[in-house]
Amino acid sequence: MRLLITLLISSFTIAEASAEAYFPGNTWEARTAQELNLNEEQLDKLFELTFSDQATMGAVLIKDGYIVKEQYADGFDQNSYGTSWSTAKSFYAALIGISLDRGEINSLDDPVSKYVKEYDTSEKKDITIRQILNMTSGLEFPSHEHEKMFFEDDHMEYALKVDVESEPGAKFEYNNVNSMLMAEILRNATGKTAKTLIDERIFSKIGLDDYIAWEDSAGNTLTYCCLDMSARDYSRFGLLFSRDGNWNGEKIISKDYVDESLKLYWGSTPSMGWIHSDTRGYSLQWWVSKYDDQAKIYNTSGKFGQFVFIDKERDIIFTRITKYYPTSGEVQNFGPLRFLKFLGSVDAAVGVARFFNNIGLIKFSGGNVQTPVTLEEGESKEFYEQYIEIVDTLATLEADET
Spatial distance between the Cα atoms of 363 and 356, rounded to a whole number of angstroms? 8
Within a domain: 338: no
Q: Please state the rounded mean pLDDT for residues 198-216.
A: 98
CA–CA distances in Å: residue 115 to residues 112, 184, 188: 6, 8, 6
Within a domain: 339: no
Q: Please state the rounded mean pLDDT for residues 252-257.
A: 98
When mean pLDDT is compared across 122-126, 245-249, 357-361, the lowest value belongs to 357-361
Confidence of residue 271 (pLDDT cuts 50, 70, 90): low
What is the structure's pLDDT at 17?
47
Print the domain residue range for 74. 2-333+370-401
Residue 130: what residue type? R
Within a domain: 361: no
What is the structure's pLDDT at 358?
85
Spatial distance between the Cα atoms of 319 and 317, rounded to a whole number of angstroms? 7
Confidence of residue 278 (pLDDT cuts 50, 70, 90): low
Nearest to 380 by CA among 51, 79, 46, 42: 51
In contact, 185 and 118? CB cutoff 8 Å: no
The DSSP symbol for 26 reads S
Within a domain: 341: no
Res 78 pLDDT > 90:
yes
Residues 314-325 as b/e (b if ≥16 CB within 10 A, e otherwise) read: bbbbbbbbbbbb
Nearest to 339 by CA among 369, 295, 314, 308: 369
The number of residues in the chain equals: 402
Within a domain: 290: yes
What integer best gives the mean pLDDT of the chain?
91
Res 7 pLDDT > 50:
no
CATH of the domain at 159: 3.40.710.10
What is the structure's pLDDT at 136?
96
What is the structure's pLDDT at 2?
47
The alpha helices in 293-373, defined as continuous H runs, are 346-358
CA–CA distances in Å: residue 334 to residues 102, 226, 229, 304, 367: 37, 15, 21, 20, 11
Within a domain: 26: yes
Give the per-residue SS3 of 333-347: ECHHHHHHHHCCCHH
Total domains, the chain = 1
Residue-wise pLDDT tens digits, 31-67: 999 999 999 999 999 999 999 999 999 999 999 999 9
Within a domain: 343: no
Confidence of residue 276 (pLDDT cuts 50, 70, 90): low
Confidence of residue 269 (pLDDT cuts 50, 70, 90): low
Name the percent of the chain lying above pLDDT 90: 77
Within a domain: 313: yes
